[in-house]
Amino acid sequence: MGFFDRFFKKKEVQVTRREFSLKDIEDFIKKEIVTKNKDIKDVGPLIEEIKNARDDAKEKVEELKNHDFPDEIKDRVYKPILTSKPQYVKSLLESLGTINLEEPGNLDELEEYYKALLNSLKRIQKIQEKKGRIVAMSFEEEVMKLGGALNRIIDIVNEIGEVLEERKADRKTLLDIDSDITELNMGMQQLDKLKDKKLVLKEKISSLKEDIKRMSNEKEEIEKSDAFKKCLDLNECLLKNEENAARVKAGALNILGPLSRTFRKFGKVVDDGKIKFENKDGIKKYIKDPAGAFLSETDGCPVIYEIIAGIEKAIKRGTLSLSPKEKKKVMPKIADIKSGGLEKIKSRLKVLEMEREGIKKELVSLDIQAACDRLAEDIENNTREIEKITAELDSISRQEGMLNEKIQGLKEDIENGVLKIDDTISLNLT
């Protein structure tokens, strides 16, 4: 601080800061874009200067036009100079006449106006480079004065170009801010939608969890009941019944299995017509699936007895030959069948089937297991749905993270842009 400043303190300029919300700055920027597009009043004086410089240039061209060679030296002047001067004057007057002096109304018109000025200057420059150099050989002073007036036009056009670039840069800053604001609004709306969606999904998870809790309690109550215990006992009985039936069926297969080859041989003898046998479908079934054919037999097993009788008849006649080893394996099984072995198995299977049907009927009447199974299935479905929704929530959280990062970047860009155009504005972009 200077010596006098200690006694006469300078007053610090207090800058009044204005706080703008997102809506405020959006409206402000849109108005500024319109204003900046129309605010080119400072170009008016430059256009007036161009008019004066153009008129000055035209005046000097007219002076050159009226400045003729003295008769005594015309014969000594290089002929191209004599012919170039009128063309030079005419071309310059025409080109100067193309300079538009109508003041543009906005920034876009100013840009077009500036381009037109540059085109006029290019034509003048071309004339100067070609005809001007020739004419200057005899009228150096006049061409130099004219060049000064033309250079003044160039200087003013350059000033207009600088103003134009400055205005365009300002407008670009405003348009960039406006674009960022639009993108920010869209991002924030999208973020709100994601938050709403998350809320709905979380409520759905809560509802599903409540349902799981309720159903688990119901299932637990059912499993504690006497009816459920009885259902478990019945299921145990059903399992034992099925195990017994499987063992009995295995006994039937033990009898019929060794006869498979004999059935095939007998079927061939029948097909070849070497023995008469009416029930061809029956022998085909026992060839294809002995156990299945037996299980489909009616009471008394008439088909297998008919087939065994046919086999014995064919062996007796010699139309079906069996090796000693095969006879040793087959004949005891035939004896088992003839002694009612398969009928006993069939009868036992029928008893087991009736017992099984009774157990199933009782289980259906209790309806406990079915209710418990339905609850377990619903609990599992709800659990899977929760897992699915949780995965969706994770995906939304990732989207939110990317959006928040993008929104933060846009806010910084907007703040930096606004600072360039007006450092008195303080933003609150929440």
Q: Convert the pLDDT of each residue in 36-53 to its tens digit.
A: 878 777 788 888 888 888
Residue 192 has pLDDT above 90, yes or no: yes
Query: pLDDT tens-digit profile of 12-21?
Result: 555 577 888 8
pLDDT tens for 232-284 read: 888 889 899 999 999 998 988 888 888 888 889 888 888 888 888 888 899 89
Cβ atoms of 131 and 88 within 8 Å: the answer is yes
Which residues fall within 8 angstroms of residue 22, CB to CB, at 6 or more apart?
181, 184, 185, 427, 428, 429, 430
Q: What is the pLDDT of residue 112?
A: 87
CA within 13 Å, CB half, 71? 0
- Chain-wide mean pLDDT for the chain? 84
Give the pLDDT of residue 81.
Answer: 63
**96, pLDDT greater than 80:** yes
Q: Give residue 215's pLDDT.
A: 95
The pLDDT of residue 8: 42
Nearest to 251 by CA among 347, 342, 352, 326: 342
Q: What angle do CA 369, 375, 379 make, to 5 degrees?
A: 145
Number of separate helices (H) and strands (E) present in the chain: 16, 2
Q: Worst-scoring range by mean pLDDT, 28-32, 91-95, 207-211, 236-240?
A: 91-95
Amino acid at 361: K
Q: Which two tokens stand for residue 273?
A: 């017509």
Closest-CA residue to 35 (of 135, 167, 147, 132): 167
The letter for the amino acid at 143 is V
Q: What is the pLDDT of residues 345-403, one digit of tens each?
A: 888 989 999 998 988 888 776 677 788 889 999 999 999 999 999 999 999 999 999 99
Q: What is the mean pLDDT of residues 74-86?
A: 64
96: CB partners within 8 A, 6+ apart: 54, 57, 58, 61, 120, 124
Mean pLDDT along residues 137-143 = 72
Contact call for residues 363 and 369 (beta carbons, < 8 A): yes
Rounded to 5 degrees, φ, ψ at 414 are -65, -45
pLDDT at 366: 67
Most confident of 15-29, 111-125, 180-194, 306-320: 180-194
Domain assignments of the chain as residue spans, ordered by start? 14-192+424-428, 225-366
Residue 289 dihedral angles phi and psi, to the nearest 5°: -155, 90
CA-nearest of 374, 349, 356, 366 to 232 is 366
pLDDT at 204: 96
What would the pLDDT profile of 398-416 be if each residue is shown by its tens digit? Answer: 999 999 999 999 999 999 9
Residue 10 or 299, more confident: 299
Cβ contact 386:205 at 8 Å = yes
- Write down the pLDDT at residue 10: 46
Alpha helices in 67-139 (DSSP H): 71-74, 79-97, 107-127, 133-136
Contact present, 404 and 191 (Cβ < 8 Å): yes
CB-based contacts of 7: which residues, under 8 Å, 6+ apart? none
Q: Report the percentage of the chain scoring pLDDT > 90.
A: 23
Q: Which residue has the tokens 């145990």?
A: 236
Cα R_g (the chain), whole angstroms: 56
Put residue 283 in one of left, alpha, beta given phi > 0 → left and psi -120 to 50 → alpha.
alpha
Print the SS3 string covering 359-398.
HHHHHHHHCHHHHHHHHHHHHHHHHHHHHHHHHHHHHHHH
Q: Mean of the pLDDT values across residues 42-68?
A: 82
**Per the confidence metrics, is the pTM higher than 0.85?**
no
User: Residue 199 is encoded by which pair of tokens?
Assistant: 């809320």
